[in-house]
Structure 1
Amino acid sequence: MASHDHHAGHHHDHASHAQGHHHGHDHSHGHAHAPANFGKVFAIGISLNTALVVAEAVYGYIANSTALLADAGHNLSDVLGLVVAWGASVASKRAPSGRFTYGLRASTILSALANAVFLLVATGAIGWEAILRLREPQPIAGVTVMVVAGIGILINGATAMLFARGRKDDINIEGAFLHMAGDAAVSLGVVVSAALIIWTGWLWLDPVTSLAICATILWSTTSLLRSSIDMSMAAAPKGTDLDAIRAFLLNRPGVSAIHDLHVWPISTTETALTCHLVMPGGAAGDAFLMETAQLLKTSFRIGHTTLQVETGADNGCALAPDDVV
């Protein structure tokens, strides 16, 4: 596909004959409103997890438990992740201004990417600590560790459930969910290993359990990282059927060809589309453009549509073979 720059010269040249531009904007479309409903959830999650970080750090030091200290560090990274995600969800609702013509919606994409990186860094730190403890196992205050980590399970599990309903529609919310679910898993591993150490005296169980948890977190983070990188690169959102969109546009009345079809995310919940429609008979009018935008919204969850109609006559720039569909 050629970029729009290739055709920049004829945006105004066509004004004398059939050209149409239409923006289909509906800020409540699809699940674009999801982040707006999570302000209270973010506030609760950040408050509870900040308290947990303090408790785990204090009691980890008292109980001589590197596992609890590592869990505190992991929770601290997640508190930072939640702050970033919350900030992005708030920023995404700011009205467009200045150079940011889409507002700050894309901050939700950057937030999802940052969350994935936070998870990877935190997991790496826990894994390194586990490897060191395999080499030099240390005794721990098992009961204290179990109680504090058990509280961690309750807090992180409850917070994860608060985010669960929005995770399918917004990878920014999914990032927050994975953070909390990962923390609950880490805390569960700490509880189980502490109980087994009390029962068997096998100090190596704690670092082995930590490594297993790290592997689980890495596996779940891979999808989030890949999706957020794709979105950062303006790739069509996951699940977008470009072939079906091309077929739909080509089957619209009066359309003989299309070119410069671009589909990209402008946030973790909103998708935009631009396309040039070649209509030899001329533009079909506003009703045609509005209906096409509405169908794209309902069939493909594309809420921001810009269509340009061309007659295919002498337009001042020849189309390359791969430009035309």
Structure 2
Amino acid sequence: MSDHPHDHDAHPHNHGPGGHAHRADQKRLTVALIITATFMIAEIIGGLISNSLALLSDAGHMASDVAALALSLFALWFARKPATPQRTYGFYRVEILAAFVNAATLLILTAWILLEAYQRLSEPPEVQGGVMLAVAVAGLIANLVSAYVLHGGQQDNLNVRGAFLHVLGDLLGSVGAIIASLLVLFTGLAIADPIVSALIGLLIIRSAWILLNESLNVLLEGAPKGTDVRAVRSTLKSLPQVLDVHDLHVWAITAGQPLLTAHLEIEGRADATQVLIQAQRELSEQYGITHVTLQLEVNGQLCEVRDVLHA
């Protein structure tokens, strides 16, 4: 057996999306982006004409959809860029940086919406309910079409799924704007506009806060969401011929690409190859972690596979 000085890397190296699926996802995202961006501009214009804060706040929420769709397209494009000697993991982290900036911007936008809604509660301005209703209905149709376009790819692609969930959230904003416009039209209750806009603002805060936390967790190299590191340690330690596990690290380069490194303390006459195979199999089947680097040790000393097999 050839020399392998203590580093044993067991993982597939091809992380890029399949060509056909990649093109299909790119087409879905492009169509949804064009539709959403067009009606975001329509809502901004309609909100300014009708003096409706509900429309403007829903346009702000739709802006988060545009950002999410653009981010997903950006990530798909970067996924095909090869790694370099200086950037050995490629350019996946650009997606996370963009998500972090997107979330921070959304929180600032929401603060403005809530402040404006508070000021309008005391002195509700006159709102043109007819214009507000027409634009809100058009926005709802746009969101329904975007959701339909994205639905086909959201099962297998995390980026598309995230964009799909953004669009579903915006559906609620459009429904809220329609309700507010109907109240203004048929009851003259102008206060409905700032109340609905505040509710939409709270909806934006929730999605933006989740996005901020998830992107920050990746940037700080925290364990991926849903991964119990203690359970991973227990699984590795329970393998035959493994005495202890230390220096265990689980993180992600980007969403859906977890990585793991660990030192395994094994018995002096252990079958090192079998330990590596079993460890990789358990990590893949139980936790979906396929990018794994394991370092074997005997009595606290780094070892080579041939040294363990022929001890």
On whether the aligned pair clears a TM of 0.5, the verdict is yes
Corresponding position: 1:268 with 2:255: yes
What is the Cα-based RMSD across aligned positions, in Å? 3.3
- Which stretches in structure 2 are left out of the alignment for 5+ residues? 304-311
Q: Secondary structure at the match of 1:256?
A: strand
User: Counterpart in 2 of 1:124?
Assistant: 111
CA pair 182-125 structure 1, distance change in 2 beyond 3 A = farther
Instruction: Kindly provide the CA deviation profile for residues 133-169 of structure 1, in whole angstroms up to 9, marking residues without a partner as x.
Output: 2233222221221111111112124324554677688
Answer yes or no: is the 8 Å Cα contact 1:85–1:111 preserved in 2: no
Corresponding position: 1:202 with 2:193: no
**2:240 is matched by which residue type in structure 1?**
P
Answer yes or no: is the 8 Å Cα contact 1:24–1:294 preserved in 2: no
Q: Specify which of 100, 103, 121 is matched with residue 113 of structure 1.
A: 100
User: Counterpart in 2 of 1:153?
Assistant: 140
Q: Secondary structure at the match of 1:267?
A: coil
Answer yes or no: is the 8 Å Cα contact 1:126–1:214 preserved in 2: yes
In 2, the alpha carbon distance for the partners of 1:62 and 1:235 equals 46
Instruction: Kindly provide the CA deviation profile for residues 221-279 of structure 1, in whole angstroms up to 9, marking residues without a partner as x.
Output: 43333222222211111221222221221222322122111111121001100011112
User: Counterpart in 2 of 1:78?
Assistant: 65
Q: Specify which of 119, 127, 136 is matched with residue 123 of structure 2.
A: 136
User: Counterpart in 2 of 1:23?
Assistant: 10
Quote the offset at 1:18 in angstroms.
7.2
Corresponding position: 1:192 with 2:179: yes
CA pair 95-23 structure 1, distance change in 2 beyond 3 A = farther
Quote the offset at 1:220 in angstroms.
4.0
Q: Secondary structure at the match of 1:21?
A: strand
In 1, the alpha carbon distance for the partners of 2:200 and 2:220 equals 30
Corresponding position: 1:46 with 2:33: yes
TM normalised by structure 2 equals 0.82
CA pair 166-291 structure 1, distance change in 2 beyond 3 A = farther
In 2, the alpha carbon distance for the partners of 1:201 and 1:70 equals 20
**1:198 is matched by which residue type in structure 2?**
L
TM normalised by structure 1 equals 0.79
The size of the alignment, in residue pairs, is: 301
- How is 1:198-277 mapped onto 2 (pairs within 5 angstroms)? 198-277=185-264
Answer yes or no: is the 8 Å Cα contact 1:237–1:271 preserved in 2: yes
Instruction: Kindly provide the CA deviation profile for residues 41-91 of structure 1, in whole angstroms up to 9, marking residues without a partner as x.
Output: 220121002211232233334434343344334433532342223212321
- Which stretches in structure 1 are left out of the alignment for 5+ residues? 1-14, 317-325
User: Counterpart in 2 of 1:306?
Assistant: 293
User: Counterpart in 1 of 2:82?
Assistant: 95
In 2, the alpha carbon distance for the partners of 1:147 and 1:224 equals 31
**1:252 is matched by which residue type in structure 2?**
L
- How is 1:168-179 mapped onto 2 (pairs within 5 angstroms)? 172-173=159-160, 175-179=162-166
